[in-house]
Amino acid sequence: MTDIRNISIDAYDYPLPEERIAKYPLAERDASKLLVMKDGVIQDSQFRHIGDFLPPKALLVFNETKVIRARLQFQKETGSHIEVFCLEPDDDYQIAFSSGSPVRWKCLVGNSKRWREGLLRMPLTVGGQEVVLTAERIEKNDQYSEIEFSWAPGELSFAAILEAAGEIPLPPYLNREAEPEDRDRYQTVFARYDGSVAAPTAGLHFTKPLLEQLRHEGFELDEVTLHVGAGTFRPVATATIGEHAMHSETIVVRKSLIENLIRHIGSPIIPVGTTSTRTLESLYWIGMMLTEQGMELRQLHVEQWYPYESHQPITTLEALEKIIAYLELHRLTHLEASTALMIAPGYQMKVITSLITNFHQPRSTLLLLVSALIGERWKEAYQYALEHGFRFLSYGDSCLFL
């Protein structure tokens, strides 16, 4: 395979006027516009009619992650404001959210120079109880700070603390503070598992009636979990993509989903969003790792460039069956792993056949992923969208690439 590391990010730039970025969601989720590209031919429609364009018996795969209220605003006695942005816990996500005091998280700290030592305190009310939340910086490095949070009464869960104290972390390109409406609208209707600091935005267009309609029309729906990290907003700042370090994200996949994928090999498998895409494609490479390194692996992590190394090819069926065997060997009902998979032009999709997604930032790894699927035709799609009034980015309109 040609080394993709020499791809210039300049080739994945395009002019995006500020007024084309959707700052607020539409009143109705499924009223957004839908761009459909099939065999290079573009049509536009409304998202609520997406079933008219999906191939028969398609399997749609959704990301069930839930956006947490990750932004905590502390005020020091001196009056300085310190923002602590929770990225990921030191422990398992479910344990971290259900735990009582204390917990440790990797965090970004805003106005960090004003907080050199000591505790930050925040009084709040949780379920009618008066609580004081404290934050202590345990360690600081170039990427993040290690923060220990504690509170009293300590039996309250950290999930309850965040719900009371935190703010929804809107994408930085919206250039506005979160408002009450965002608590509902920057969350998919099928979100279940706390852990993301950004929404899987392709899923924001779905309503519960639309999901039921798709089931009624014979499409199958299934779910994965990838907890979206803050790195998803980071454009590629290097000249070539080989110099860009992909962020790692946690994935959780039920054994039943993998069995469902096996049943659908040869049929359309359509992820809803780039996060579902990375999860599904990472499954193939986890199967490859188990094949190459053995079934006793405990730390399952897909490195950024692993797919571009030399491997003895295996089929998608073989990769998925290897994961099933691994889960049965270790008596697991879920696969838990992490991925920093870079999907860029030159990558060959192993699991997915099509994609539902939003319009992404210029010079982003998400745009590279789209190009890996449809090639240079992304330029036609984006130019069409710019010329026909489509809204861009998280609260914007959507695409179906077949």
- Given a contact cutoff of 8 angstroms between Cβ atoms, the answer to whether 190 and 65 are in contact is no
Task: Give start-end residues of each CATH 2.40.10 domain in the chain.
Answer: 70-166
Task: Give start-end residues of each CATH 3.40.1780.10 domain in the chain.
Answer: 4-66+184-401
Q: Which of 161, 165, 198, 171 is nearest to 66 (CA)?
A: 198
Average pLDDT estimate for 304-316: 96
Amino acid at 304: Q
Architecture of the domain made up of 70-166: Beta Barrel (2.40)
- Given a contact cutoff of 8 angstroms between Cβ atoms, the answer to whether 127 and 160 are in contact is yes
Over pLDDT 90: what percentage of the chain?
85
pLDDT in tens, 82-106: 999 999 898 788 888 999 999 999 9
Side by side, the strands of the sheet bearing 398-401 are 41-46, 33-38, 398-401, 355-358
Q: Please tell me the total number of residues recorded for the chain in this structure.
A: 402
Residue 1 has pLDDT above 80, yes or no: no
| Residue 201, pLDDT score | 96
pLDDT in tens, 151-185: 998 999 999 999 999 999 999 899 999 999 999 99
More confident site: 3 or 50: 50
At residue 205's C-alpha, the angle toward residues 203 and 207, to 5°, is 95
More confident site: 190 or 115: 190
Average pLDDT estimate for 233-262: 92
Rounded Cα–Cα distance for residues 26 and 180 (Å): 15
The reported pTM is: 0.93
| Residue 235, pLDDT score | 81
pLDDT in tens, 314-371: 999 999 999 999 999 999 999 999 999 999 999 999 999 999 999 999 999 999 999 9
Architecture of the domain made up of 4-66+184-401: 3-Layer(aba) Sandwich (3.40)
Q: Which of 276, 286, 225 is nearest to 94 (CA)?
A: 225
Residue 2 has pLDDT above 60, yes or no: no
Q: Which residues contact 135 (CB under 8 A, 6 or more apart)?
A: 72, 74, 84, 119, 120, 122, 147, 148, 149
| Residue 213, pLDDT score | 98
pLDDT band at 231 (very low <50, low <70, confident <90, very high): confident
